[in-house]
Amino acid sequence: MVLVLSLPMMAQQVDAKSWGKNTPGVELMVHEGPRQHTPSGTVLVYSFAGKGFTPGVAYNLWGWIPGEEPKKFLDGVSFDDRGVLICSGKAGFCSGQAPDDPVNIRSEAVQGEPKRFGVIAPDGNVAAFAEDIPFPIEASDKNCKVSVIRVSPLGEVVLARATGFVPYEMLTVTTGTGTESPTATPEGTWEGLAGNGTSGGRSGVATLKVSGKDCAVAVSYDFGAGSAKIQ
């Protein structure tokens, strides 16, 4: 079964604050198939597999687009005995082109846009989430890497992620709004929201830099009108 991710979704039921918090014992994996290049942009095709889910139980498939709230867009999905997410066609489940048809999502994306999915039980007691960033915005230096992920559709706010730094070291993070000095986690990572210090519909190129004892990484990205170009 093929769905188009940009189709209108159903009413909101999941709190964004709980997004990404897997129920213990379950895991969702998203797989990107071969990309299809068209005159209007790259078509992405996603399929899904799960671990720890009970086969033959009805769940709902959710998505979360930057600038919106999480929304449900397919009822009655289930996992088969192999762990593949399907539309079984049975009563109370979604239907595809054939019985036990694997669920496939077709979508397009801009740079730094996350594709976020969740499989959630109707009562919310079981949930697992997965994310893919098909066109990452990132840079690296030695073992260190910094990436930015769009939070707002036009990139005025991004989620910055840094890895490969010294555990517990004090970092220097420089953005368009100034400089801060967060502490790296025990794993040598850092994550935080960042803006570019602009308002009033301006556009341009923003730079975010993370510096530590052994490396310094700067990454630049477009923001504002014209930045959300389908790749």
Q: Which two tokens stand for residue 111?
A: 């740079």
Residue ranges per structural domain of the chain: 2-132, 137-223
Residue whose token pair is 């960033």: 133
Q: Which two tokens stand for residue 107?
A: 């979508």
Per-residue pLDDT reduced to its tens digit, 46-104? 999 999 999 999 999 999 999 899 999 899 999 999 999 999 999 999 999 999 999 99
Which residue from 222, 208, 197, 145 is spatially nearest to 172, judged by alpha carbons? 208
Contacts of 134 by beta carbon, 8 Å cutoff, 6+ apart: 32, 42, 44, 109, 113, 115, 231
Fold of 137-223: Immunoglobulin-like (2.60.40)
pTM for this structure?
0.87
Q: What's the CA gap between 94 and 1, in Å, rounded?
A: 9
CB 50 within 8 A of CB 27: yes
CATH 2.60.40 is the classification of domain 2-132: yes
Q: What is the predicted pLDDT for the residue at 10?
A: 43
Q: Which residues sit opposite 150 in a β-bridge?
A: 158
Backbone angles phi, psi at 199, to 5 degrees: -155, 175
Q: What is the predicted pLDDT for the residue at 214?
A: 93
Q: Which residues of the chain have pLDDT under 50?
A: 5-12
